[in-house]
Amino acid sequence: MRAVLVLYFKFFLRWDDNLSTAIYHSFVALCYLTPILGAIIADSWLGKFMTIVSLSIVYTIGQAVMAVSSINDLTDYNRDGIPDNIPLHIGLSMIGLILIAFGTGGIKPCVSAFGGDQFEEEQEEQRSKFFSIFYLSVNAGSLLSTIITPVLRGEECGIHTKQQCYPLAFGVPAALMAVSLIVFILGSKMYKKAHPQGNIMLQVSKCIGFAVKNRFQHRSKQFPTREHWLDWASEKYDKRLITQTKMVLKVLFLYIPLPMFWALFDQQGAIQIQPDQMQTVNPILIVIMVPLVDTVVYPLIKKCHINFTPLRKITVGMFLASLAFVAAALVQVQIDKTLPDFPKEGQSQIKVINLGTDVAKVDFGSGVENVSVESLMATNYMTFDTTSLTRMNIAYGNQTLNQPLNFPGKERHTLLLKNTGDIQTELLLDGLTSKSEDGKNQIRFINNLASTINITMGGTHLGDVKNFSATNYTSFTRGVKEIVVFADNSLTCKNQSISFGYGSAYTIVIQECNSNTLALKYVEDIQPNTVHMAWQLPQYFIMTCGEVVFSVTGLAFSYSQAPSNMKSVLQAGWLLTVAVGNIIVLIVAGASKLSEQWAEYVLFAALLMAVCIIFSIMAYFYTYVDPAEIEAQLDEDEKKKMENEKSICENGTGPISQSEM
């Protein structure tokens, strides 16, 4: 669903880029904040199984509401193809997204923890493999959705007018979620279901609060120190709760530096050069790398007698992510060399195309050298101070023309010239102020024939074009396109275009149309991308390797170090680092005054490297625990305590001490 969400905001709800991006990131952050709520419900009230079932229903309803909100005909009362009650669609969309956020967030910590519950304590290796398969499955779904969802959106549907089919793009995930829920419920009898043990989060919070309060009240040196600050809660809370709280806080403390990894990981989408298909690279590599790392890399490391502990794996994952962004910065430097120089504030750019038969000379004044343009040729874009562009003088042989100019600034313009009889001029506002982000090519046509023509390119109808006028830019994918021109004299002319690359912009001048030929003149407005998209693959590969050893290990580590009654809570804590990572992106990107993209990549890489060093030091001092063993020892201690108390009650005395013997 996320694959088309920003497009839905921009093109259906008509939001601008800033609002669309802000709402999108807010939605993602909410999806990773709500796991805390799901974990509390699971561990304290419903249990993991019923929490998954209940919140999956909420999730499915949210998806269905999103599908309904995107039905164009719902409020298209005048049937013009545009919704007439946008606030209604926005309201339904927000309700749907909130339901989805609570649904998906609520089940996130429970699904992985519930899977971990199905294994016995001695099945540590099998449980670790489960977390790998679980993560692989998530990314397999991501891969399919990245490919299929845009295809569903691209279909046309509607009752009165045909529109891009957002209802299908949102409705199919809703149907699949309902099916998956049914399949999950059908396996109910096969699952091992741990029962919730009361409101454990409330107990933990009270325990921590009492320990802090008690320590503050006994801060005088006359009171002996205790081994751990949580031991100050022993006057009110039992040893089991205090020990379990220590385990959880020790792991949560380790999580403090981890959001920086997700801050980099969530910027992967920004590391794009050309086609949006590159989004599929990460899930494809995940599907390949997870089994490869599990079955080949880890066994090889083990054979080399290297103790590759979970925390060392997480550290390596952070280091690889930092390395990936260094690679991204190097590629970005090469990309920047090929980017066009667009006008800045206070500047205007002009390109001159001479459609006449003689040499044209243009003087823009302000001490700028005269521009000489041969017949049927064009200049590159020339940059001027907008305030200095007040008049221009055009000369075609003995003919001259003086015209006033008035530019808004920060725009590109094209000046068309022709000397058929009098001097003809046409000043076009190009509207291109940035390179295409989706890798598509921007193409426009100029009619240099004597009569009106009708143009079709690659099956896209561009309409009638009068003599000495131009079409607007239209987006086309890469490759060769067929150009068909219908002239007033019933002539049909066809020709194959040049092979378009990625991200270019061209002005195509229709020079001649007869029964045999269609003569075209190509003027390059923006050059195609010359940095091949394959140069992205190293950074994707390095980042994916980092993700595999970081994320899969994190899920398994969180489960293995959590007390039996707080498995979902620690899974939620792990997911919370993702939400904080999104917030870091917004803060750093907002505070950073770096104008260059590569410099921002280097900044994030340096920050993560620093965090990686801090985490490695923290990990060095971490002591791994076996919660099952500790809880078994606590059970044994409680059993002995009960026996002692029973003995005291029966005999009236306690057990004989060593000093009494």
The whole-number average pLDDT for the span 305-331 is 92
Tell me the pLDDT tens digit for each residue of 143-170: 888 788 878 887 778 777 777 788 988 9
Distance of CA 555 to the CA centre of its chain: 21
Which residues lie closer than 8 Å to 221 by C-beta, 6 or more apart? Answer: none
* Tokens 């403390």, located at residue: 253
* Tokens 């690279």, located at residue: 281
Q: Where are the beta strands (DSSP E) in 369-526?
A: 371-373, 382-385, 391-396, 399-404, 411-418, 424-429, 441-447, 453-457, 460-465, 474-476, 482-487, 492-496, 505-513, 518-526
Top-confidence range, 195-199, 365-369, 402-406: 402-406
Which residues lie closer than 8 Å to 653 by C-beta, 6 or more apart? Answer: none
As a whole number of angstroms, the distance between CA 151 and CA 277 comes to: 12
* Domain assignments of the chain as residue spans, ordered by start: 1-198, 238-338+539-638, 347-526
Token pair recorded at residue 427 = 């000043």
Tell me the pLDDT tens digit for each residue of 579-599: 888 777 777 766 666 667 788
Query: pLDDT category, 367, cuts 50, 70, 90?
Result: low
Which residues lie closer than 8 Å to 38 by C-beta, 6 or more apart? Answer: 51, 55, 105, 106, 107, 108, 109, 110, 568, 572
Whose CA is closest to 86, among 4, 159, 170, 11? Answer: 11
pLDDT of 467 reads: 92
As a whole number of angstroms, the distance between CA 531 and CA 538 comes to: 14
200 or 120, which is more confident?
Answer: 120
Q: What is the DSSP letter of 534?
A: G
Task: Kindly list the strands in the beta sheet with 518-526, ordered across the sheet, starting from the edge strand earlier in the chain.
Answer: 474-476, 441-447, 505-513, 518-526
Q: Is the pLDDT of residue 271 over 50?
A: no
1-198 folds as: Growth Hormone; Chain: A; (1.20.1250)
DSSP run (H or E) holding 163: strand 163-164
User: Under DSSP, is residue 389 helix (H, G, I), strand (E, B) or coil?
Assistant: coil
Greatest CA separation found in the chain? 129
On whether the pTM is more than 0.75, the answer is no
DSSP run (H or E) holding 433: none
Write the CA distances from 44 to 58, 198, 204, 353, 631, integer angstroms. Answer: 19, 5, 12, 73, 18
The whole-number average pLDDT for the span 185-193 is 93
What percentage of the chain has pLDDT greater than the value 70? 93
- Do 1-198 and 347-526 fold alike per CATH? no
As a whole number of angstroms, the distance between CA 167 and CA 258 comes to: 37
CB 207 within 8 A of CB 242: yes
CB 25 within 8 A of CB 586: yes
Q: Is the pLDDT of residue 493 over 70?
A: yes
Q: DSSP string of 231-292?
A: GGGTTTS-HHHHHHHHHHHHHHHHHTTTHHHHHHHTTGGG---S-GGGGGHHHHHHHHHHHH
Write the CA distances from 625 to 197, 203, 557, integer angstroms. Answer: 21, 22, 11
The whole-number average pLDDT for the span 251-268 is 85
pLDDT, the chain, mean: 86
Tell me the pLDDT tens digit for each residue of 332-360: 888 888 788 889 888 999 999 999 989 99
Q: Is the pLDDT of residue 244 over 70?
A: yes
The whole-number average pLDDT for the span 611-619 is 94
Euclidean distance between the first and final Cα of the chain, in Å? Answer: 75
Q: DSSP string of 18-30?
A: HHHHHHHHHHHHH
Sign of dihedral through CA atoms 301, 307, 310, 314?
A: negative
As a whole number of angstroms, the distance between CA 85 and CA 88 comes to: 6
User: Under DSSP, is residue 187 helix (H, G, I), strand (E, B) or coil?
Assistant: coil
Query: What CATH superfamily classification does 238-338+539-638 receive?
Result: MFS general substrate transporter like domains (1.20.1250.20)
Beta-carbon neighbour count of residue 322 at 10 Å?
24
Q: Is the pLDDT of residue 659 over 70?
A: no
The whole-number average pLDDT for the span 10-22 is 83
The amino acid at residue 536 is Q
Top-confidence range, 37-46, 65-74, 511-520: 65-74
pLDDT of 60 reads: 95
φ/ψ (deg, to 5) at 545: -60, -40
Beta bridge partners of 442: 475, 505
Q: Is the pLDDT of residue 528 over 70?
A: yes
The amino acid at residue 607 is L
φ/ψ (deg, to 5) at 229: -60, -25
pLDDT of 653 reads: 52
CATH architecture of the domain 347-526 equals Sandwich (2.60)
